[in-house]
Each structure stands twice: as C-alpha cells, then as structure tokens.
Amino acid sequence: MSSNLHPGSNHSPGSAHQAPPEQAPRIAEPDAGQSETALISRDLVQLYVRAFGRGPNRARTFIQPQFAVCILRDVFTTAERTLLADGGEAEVEAARRRINDSFEEECIEIVEAETRRSVQSHLAQVRAPADLVVHLFLFDESS
C-alpha cells in the first residue's frame, strides 16, 4: 500500500505548502528545568524561525548585571549562503540588519520578560564571514 505523502513531508503531492499564520512572539513561561539564559536563547531562535524560515543552529546567552548578550551561530539561509558564495556579503548583511530592525521590539520583550529588567538599548550586529549575529541588550541601570 503506497502513501500519498512525499518522504519526509506532511503534505500530500497536490497540496500547496502554506506558511504558518503570523504569530505574536511567544514569551516563554518560566520553566523549572531551564535557566533564563536558555529561555532567552530558545525564544530568540524561535523568533528567527518565524522571521527567516530558519533559525540559528546554535545560540548562547550570557547575562551580566549591566547587560545580556546572545550569540547566534549558523544563521544564514540557503539563499543567503548562495549570495555569500558569489561575493554578496554586503547585501546579505544589509538585508539581515533591516530585518533585525523590524523585530527589535520583540527581541527586547523577550529579554525583559525573562530577566524582569528594563532594556535601555539593544544593538544587533551581523557578521557574514563568521556566520553569526550578536545581540547586545543594555539594562536600564535604574531598574
């Protein structure tokens, strides 16, 4: 008996693949087994999946009294990797910066929710040669 599904797919051959509906960022509920750094990393990866269709393969968050930093590695899509191989570093970095700017508030909300601290400033840096994005969140020192 044969199946109508393509191997590795949940879609039948004739069905059109539809993107999931746009969702608000999911702020993690406190998990007894996960640290706030792990939750921030997880939620930022999920945000990237929604924004780019693919998330980073590695994410690590560090929290200090004055700031939090999240390092996302192996971030680029297949299309971006194709452009990079053809010398399109500037274009890929510019596009990533623009998209990161569009979801900056969601990044801040994730960090504020997990740390229960107010973020004064957020900086994101894309580095194509290193295949990474670094997010720096400076906490409001009065909070």
CATH number at residue 77: 3.30.980
pLDDT band of 33, cuts 50, 70, 90:
low
Q: Rg of the chain's alpha carbons, rounded to an integer?
A: 18
In a domain, 84, yes or no: yes
Q: Looking at residue 142, what is its pLDDT?
A: 82
Within-domain flag for 72: yes
* 22, part of any domain: no
Which pTM does this prediction carry?
A: 0.76
- Tell me whether residue 2 is in a domain: no
Q: Is residue 71 part of a domain?
A: yes
Structural domain range at position 91: 36-139
Q: Is 82 within a domain?
A: yes
Residue 21 included in any domain:
no
Domain count, the chain: 1
Amino acid present at 120: Q
For residue 63, is pLDDT > 70? yes
Provide the percentage of residues in the chain whose pLDDT is more than 70.
76
What's the pLDDT band for 27 if we cut at 50, 70, 90?
very low
CA neighbor of 67 nearest in space, from 5, 127, 16, 117: 117
Q: SS3 string of 25-40? A: CCCCCCCCCCCHHHHH
For residue 20, being part of any structural domain is answered with no
